Structure 1
Amino acid sequence: MDVRCSSVFTDSKWVTPCFDCLKTLCEEEKPLLKGEVEDVDDSVPPQCCSARYNLAILMFFGFAVVYGLRVNLSVAMVVMVNGTQVQPILNSSGGHECPVPSHGSDNSSQTGDQPDGIPQYSWDSQTQGLLLGAFFFGYLVTQIPGGYLAGHFGGTIFLGVGVLGTAALTLLTPLAAKLGPYWLFSLRALEGFGEGFTFPAMMAMWACWSPPLERSRLITLSGAGANFGAFVALPLTGFICHSLGWPAVFYICGGAGCLWAVFWFTLVTDQPGTHPRISKREREYIINSIGKEGGAHGWSVPLLPMFLSVPLWATIVSQMCSNWSYYTLLTSLPTYMDTILHFDLHQNAFLSALPYLGAWGVSLVSGVVADRLLEKNLMSVTAVRKLFTFTGLLLPAVFLVAVGYSGCSRVWAVTFLTLSTTVGGTSAAGVFINQIDIAPRYAGVLLGITNTFGTIPGVLAPIVTGYLTNDQTMAGWRSVFFLAAGISAGGALVFTLFGSGEVQKWAQAEEDQIQTESHTERDPLIT
C-alpha cells in the first residue's frame, strides 16, 4: 500500500475520503466508500443539527423565497390584466374552444374581480410574455461574475445580498406597474440581476462545505427550496390576490425575503473553519474529506480548457434543454389553466403549484438515492449523473407530449403536467450538480456559466409562448408543449453521450496533476 494511504488508515482520526491516496491507486479519482473501511460510521459526525445541514436548510428557505419572488407575477398577472380588454379564448365561430364548466361562469370575469381601488391594466398576450420574461434579462448578466467573485471571496455575502436585493425591489412592483409596462419590465430585470448571484454563490459555498459522499443530498436539499417556493407561492398568491388585492402579494413576499436575510447574515459563514458553532469533529471531517479540491480558486481560472471541455458543454446544453420546459411551465402554466381549462383563481393557483410539490419531493429522494449508489459502490459518479439526468429529461418530455393530446380534458391535462414536472425532479441529482463533480475548485464559476446559458430559455420561452398562443387556441398551446418536449429529449441524449462525473484535469490542483502523471508513468498498467 502507498505510504500516504497507510498513514491515513492507521491514524486514530480516520476520515473519508482521502483524495491524495486514491489518485496514486487509480487514474480515475473518486471518494472512498463507507463500506471499504471498518468502523467508518464512527468517523462521520451526525447529520441532525449539524452545521452543514443547518446551512442546507437555510439555503432551502432562501431559495424558496427567491422562487416565490420569481413566480408570483405569473399568478398575479391573471388578475392584474383587465379581462374586459384582453378577450378570452375564442374559436372561429366566436365561442370557447374548450367549454366552460357548467357550474361556473367564464373564468375571466371571476379572476378579474379585485377589491375596490386595485388597478388593472390592458396588456395584450405579447406584452404579458415580455413582462414574464423580463426577470431573466437581468438574471443572465450576473451569473458568471457572481460565480467568479463567490469562488474567490466566498459565497455568503453574494447569496445573502442577492436575496435581500431581490426582495427589496419586489416591494416596488405595484409602483412600477402603475407607471407602465416599461417600468415594470425594468424592475423585473433588476430583480433578476440581484437573484443571478444566488445559485453560483450556493455552489461556491458547497465546494467548501459538502463532503463528497453527502454532496448529492446536501445540494439537492438546498436547491429543492426552489420547487417548494413555487409550490407555496402559487396558491398563496392566488389567495392573497382574492383577499387583499394583487399589490399585497409583492409586499408580503418582499418582506419575507428581507426577514430571511437577517437570519442568513447572522448564522452563516463561508467555510467550516470559520464557523463559530461547528464541532471540531464535524469541521475536521468536512475539511479532510474535501481535501485540496475545495476552497477558493484565486483570481485566475483556466478559461480556455473550460471552453474546450466536452463534459462542460454537455452540462450546458442539457441544462438549457431542461430549463426550456421548466421555465415554460413556471411562467405560463397559470395562463394555460385560466384561458384553456377555465379554472377559477383558487383552482388555478393550487393546480399550477401541484407539479412543484411533486418535483420537490422527488428531488430530495433523488439526492439520497444518488449518494447511496455511490456509498455502496454500485455505480460510478458518471453513471449516477447520467442515470438521473436521462430520467429527469426524457420522461418529462413524454408527459408533455401527452398534455398536447389531452385536449380539453382537465383531469388528464393536470395529471400529465403534474407528472412531467414531478419526474423532472430527478435531474436535481444529475446534470444540475454536475459542475461540482467535474471541477470542485471552480464550481461557482461553472454554475455561473451553465446558469447563464440555462437562463436563455427563461428569456425566450415566455416570449415564444406568447407568440404561439397569441390567438389562445388549443393548437397554439399544443405547439408550446411539443416544442418543450422535443428540446428536453434532445438534452437527455446529449448528456448521455458526452456527460462525465469525473474531476477534469484542468480543475485539479497543480501538485495533484504532477502526482497523477508521475504515478501513471511509474505504472503503465493503470488505465
Structure 2
Amino acid sequence: MDNQVPPRKVPNFCSIRYGIALLLLLCNVIVMSQRVCMSLTMIAMVNSTEPHGLSNTSTKEPQDNIKNPVYNWSTEIQGIMLSSIFYGLLISQIPAGYLSGIYSLKKMVGSALFLSSLFTLLIPLAAEFGEALVIICRVIQGLFQGMALTTQQVVWIKWAPPLEQVRLTSLSLSGLLLGPCVVLLITGFICDSLGWPMVFYIFGACGCALSLLWFVLFYEDPKDHPCISKSEKECITSTLAQQVSSSAPSLPIKAVLKSPPLWVISLCNFAFFWANSFLSLYTPMFINSKFHINVKENGLLSSLPHLFAWIFAILAGHMADVFLSRNILSLLTIRKLFTLLGLLLPALFSLCLLYLSSSFHGTMIFLILANATGSFCMGGILINVLDIAPRIKTLLGLKSSS
C-alpha cells in the first residue's frame, strides 16, 4: 500500500474494540470446535478407523450402552463426513461477503452461529438414521459457518484503526487455531466419561448461548455503542476517516476478476486453509494409527500442536504491527515475509513428519512445528484483503500491497 498512516496511541486492551475481538475469538473457537470435534469422536463412533475390516454399511452394532452407539462406517464414508462441512463453506463465502455489505452484521454473524450450533445438536440424532443425514447436517453447518467467518471480517472496517488491524484481526482469527486445541483437549474426556453424543450437545449448546450474547453485546458502529468512551470513539473514527471515505463505491466486478492481487490472496488463502484444515481433521486419526492410544490420551496429544499455533498467531499479529508502527519494514515487505513463512515452513515440517519422525518425540515435535509456523499467515494474507480493499475503496488491487 502506498499511503502510510501516521502512528496512533498504544491500544487500550480494556477498550470496547478489544472486547469485540475477544467475542469474535470465542465465536471462532465455537465454530472450529463444532467443525473439528467429529475428527476425534469418529474414533469412538465407529468400530475402527483403520482401512481394513469395515463394511460399506452404516448399520448400528448392538451395544450394552445404547447412549454411546457404535457404527459400521467405512473409511470412505468417514472421510466424506469429515470433509462434507467444507462443501458448505465453499458455497457460502462469496454470497456471504456480498450480503455483508447489504444486511446487518449483527444479524448475519449471530444467526449463522446459532444455526450452525443447532445443526451440531442434531448430529447424534442424524447418526441414528444413517450416514447420509449426518453428511447433510455437516454440509448445512458449513454453509452457516462460512457465513459467520466471512461476514465477521467486515466488522474491522468500522472498528479497527489502521495500525491495530493486524492485532485485532489476528486476535479474533486466532480462535480458529485455539478452537481445535480446546475441542481436542476436552473431547477425549467427554467421550470417555459421558459418551460421544454429549460432545455435540455441549458444543452446540455453547454456540447457541454465545449467539445470544453476540446479539446483546455487539453494535454495528462505534458511534452507536452505549458503553464506548469518548476518547476511544474519537481514536477509531478519526483514523478511519484518513483511510476511507464515508460512502463506498459500487462493487466493480470486472476490476475484481482482473485483479492479480485478489487471485494471489485467494490462492494463498486456499493453501493456508487446506493445510490447516487437513492437520486439524486428521491429526487425531494419524496419532491413533501411529501410536494406538486411547481417545483421552489422543485428545491431549492432538491438542498440543493447536495450542502452539494459537500462541504463534497472537505473536505474529503483534510482531507485524510493531514492524509497521516502528517503520522497521514496509507494509509490502511485512505481508510478503509473513505469508512466505506461513506457507513454506508448514510444508517443510510436514515433509519431515513423513520421512524424519521415527520416534514418538520426533513425531510430536514436527506436528507442533507444522501447525505453529502456519500462524505467520496471520500477519500476511489473512489480513491482506483489508489492505487492498477497505470498504472496496481501492477497488481490490488498484493500489495493492501484494
TM-score normalized by structure 1?
0.71
Question: Letter of the aligned partner of 1:312 in structure 2?
Answer: L
What letter is aligned with 1:419? L
1:29 is aligned to 2:3: yes
- The amino acid that maps onto 2:197 is P
Q: Which moved more, 1:344-353 or 1:400-409?
A: 400-409
From the CA coordinates, give the structure whose radius of gyration is larger.
1
Unaligned runs of 5+ in 1: 1-26, 35-40, 90-112, 444-500, 508-527
CA displacement at 1:116 relative to structure 2: 5.0
Partner of 2:289 in structure 1? 339
Give unpaired runs (5+ residues) of structure 2: 55-62
Q: Does 1:426 align with 2:376?
A: yes
Question: For 1:284 and 1:198, how far apart are their aligned partners in 2?
Answer: 28
Of 232, 246, 249, which residue of structure 1 is paired with 2:196? 246
Closer, same or farther: CA 421–290 of 1 in aligned 2, 3 Å: same
For 2:184, give the aligned amino acid. L
Query: Is residue 59 from structure 1 mapped to residue 29 from structure 2 by the alignment?
Result: no
The one of 42, 48, 51 aligned to 1:77: 42
Please give the residue correspondences for 1:100-111 in structure 2 after superposition, counting only pairs within 5 Å. none
1:212 aligned residue = 162
Task: Provide the residue aligned with 2:94 in structure 1.
Answer: 144
Worse-superposed segment, 286-295 or 58-67 = 286-295
Report what 2:59 is aligned to: none
* Structure 1 segment 373-392 matched on structure 2, within 5 A: 373-392=323-342
Alpha-carbon distance in structure 2 between the residues aligned to 1:114 and 1:423: 45
Shift of the 374–82 alpha-carbon distance from structure 1 to 2, 3 Å rule, reads same
Secondary structure, aligned partner of 1:151: coil
SS at match of 2:338: helix
Partner residue of 1:325?
275
The question of whether the paired residues in 2 share the 8 Å contact of 1:29 and 1:503 is answered with: no
How is 1:171-210 mapped onto 2 (pairs within 5 angstroms)? 171-210=121-160
- Give the whole-Å Cα distance in 2 for the aligned partners of 1:294 and 1:203: 18
Equivalence for 1:158: 108
Percent identity between matched residues is 35
- Give the match's secondary structure for 2:101: helix
Classify 1:295/1:131 alpha carbon distance in 2 versus 1 (closer, same or farther; 3 Å): farther
Question: Which residues in structure 2 correspond to 1:243-392 (within 5 Å)?
Answer: 243-291=193-241, 293=244, 297=248, 300-392=250-342
Give, in whole Å, the separation in 1 of the partners of 2:64 and 2:157. 47
Q: Corresponding residue for 1:167?
A: 117
Counterparts of 1:88 and 1:363, CA distance in 2: 41
Contact 2:50 2:75 (8 Å CA) reproduced? no
Partner SS state of residue 82, structure 1:
coil
Deviation string 1:447-476 (CA, Å, 9 cap, x unpaired) is: xxxxxxxxxxxxxxxxxxxxxxxxxxxxxx
Kept after mapping to 2: 8 A contact 1:151/1:442: no
Q: CA deviation at 1:406?
A: 3.4
Q: Say if 2:49 is the partner of 1:49.
A: no
Cα distance, 1:151 vs structure 2: 2.2
- Whether the aligned pair in 2 keeps the contact of 1:154 and 1:205 (CA below 8 Å) is no
Name the CA distance, whole Å, in 2 between partners of 1:304 and 1:179: 46
In 2 relative to 1, CA 407–47 (structure 1 residues): closer, same or farther, beyond 3 Å?
closer
CA 420–429 in structure 1, closer or farther in 2 if over 3 Å, else same: same
Distance 1:232 1:75, change over 3 A: same
Partners in 1 of 2:364 and 2:209 — Cα distance? 34
Distance 1:55 1:117, change over 3 A: closer
Which residue in 2 is equivalent to 1:417? Answer: 367
Q: Is the 8 A contact 1:153 1:296 kept in 2?
A: no
Alpha-carbon displacement from aligned partner over 1:120-166 (angstroms, at most 9, x marks no partner): 11111111110001111111121111111112334222111111110
- Deviations for 1:422-466, whole angstroms, at most 9, x for unmatched residues? 1111111111111001101139xxxxxxxxxxxxxxxxxxxxxxx
Aligned 8 A contact 1:207 1:294 in 2: no
Give, in whole Å, the separation in 2 of the partners of 1:409 and 1:175.
40
Deviation at 1:184, TM superposition (A): 0.4
**Over residues 174-225 of structure 1, what are the superposed CA-to-partner deviations in whole Å (9 max), with x where a residue is unaligned?**
0111110100000000111111111221111111111000111000000111
- Paired with 2:365 and 2:42, the residues of 1 have a C-alpha distance of 24
How far 1:316 sits from its partner (Å)? 0.8
The one-letter amino acid of 2:385's match is Q
- Separation in structure 2 between the aligned mates of residue 308 and residue 341 of structure 1, nearest angstrom: 49
- Secondary structure of 2:335's match? helix
2:316 alignment partner AA: S
Letter in 2 for 1:29: N
Q: Secondary structure at the match of 1:416?
A: helix
Conserved 8 A contact 1:340-1:408: no
Distance in 1 between the 2:382 and 2:134 partners? Answer: 31
Aligned residues: 391
SS in 2 for 1:171: helix
Say if 1:65 and 1:257, in contact at 8 Å, map to a contact too: yes
Q: CA deviation at 1:417?
A: 0.8
Distance 2:379 2:331 in 1: 11
Matching residue's letter, 1:120: V
